[in-house]
Amino acid sequence: MALPNSWPITPKLQENNFTPKPTVETVGLSTGCIMEKFIRLLRQHKLKVTQPRLSLLKIISEKETAISQPDLEKMLGDAVDRVTLYRVLATFEEKGILHKIFDLHGTATYALCSTACDEHHHHDEHVHFICSSCNNIYCLDDIKLPKINLPKGYQLQSVGINAVGLCAECKAKI
């Protein structure tokens, strides 16, 4: 018998073939509301809800600083393989969920985007603070970038300002 179009179980489940509740348990989260937030975020960006994506969002949102791919690999352990991680990072960057910042060694690190970012444009117009001692990168969301008035005929694609110095923790150690 064919299922009626108005199948009573939420249509979201058919679309993603994924149930939110078991996910929360699989990822090992005690607080369901955070996961709900991530699930909403993924759907908002028209992305399928998958465990690697949720795991990555959880780790990145818990860190105060931007994280590099090697560090993410270590934190995820066997949960997500390298190729999947690479793809998830690329997708998130493309969709406006994460933005990339290069540290002092040229290693790419990732931090969560503001809600203003989407798949067409990033709007992470804030200063990044890089600690020269621990190499941690902080998004200083409250410090906005200056407006760049380009000469006629130029087109702006991105602006980045890195402030380098000692973070509060390293400064306190001196």
Q: Pick from 35, 117, 129, 138: which binds Zn ion (CB under 5 A)?
A: 117
Question: Do 104 and 132 contact (CB within 8 A), yes or no?
Answer: yes
Q: Pick from 85, 112, 122, 130: which binds Zn ion (CB under 5 A)?
A: 122
Kindly provide the residue ranges of all beta strands, DSSP E only, lying in the chain, ordered along the sequence.
67-68, 98-102, 108-112, 126-131, 137-144, 162-165
- Shortest distance (Å) from residue 47 CB to Zn ion: 15
Give, as ranges, the residues between 65 and 104 that touch Zn ion (CB under 5 A).
96, 99
- When asked if residue 163 is in the footprint of Zn ion (CB under 5 A), the reply is no
Q: Taking the CA of residue 125 as centre, how many other CA atoms within 13 Å lie in the half-sphere pointing to its CB?
A: 11
Q: Residue 42 or residue 139: which is nearer to Zn ion going by CB?
A: 139
Amino acid at 158: S
> What's the alpha-carbon Rg for the chain, to the nearest Å?
19
- When asked if residue 60 is in the footprint of Zn ion (CB under 5 A), the reply is no
Amino acid at 115: T
Q: Pick from 54, 60, 85, 131: which binds Zn ion (CB under 5 A)?
A: 131
- When asked if residue 112 is in the footprint of Zn ion (CB under 5 A), the reply is no
Neighbours of 68 (CB within 10 A): 18
Q: Pick from 39, 67, 113, 130: which binds Zn ion (CB under 5 A)?
A: 113
Interacting residues with Zn ion (CB under 5 A) = 96, 99, 111, 113, 117, 122, 124, 131, 133-134, 139, 167, 170
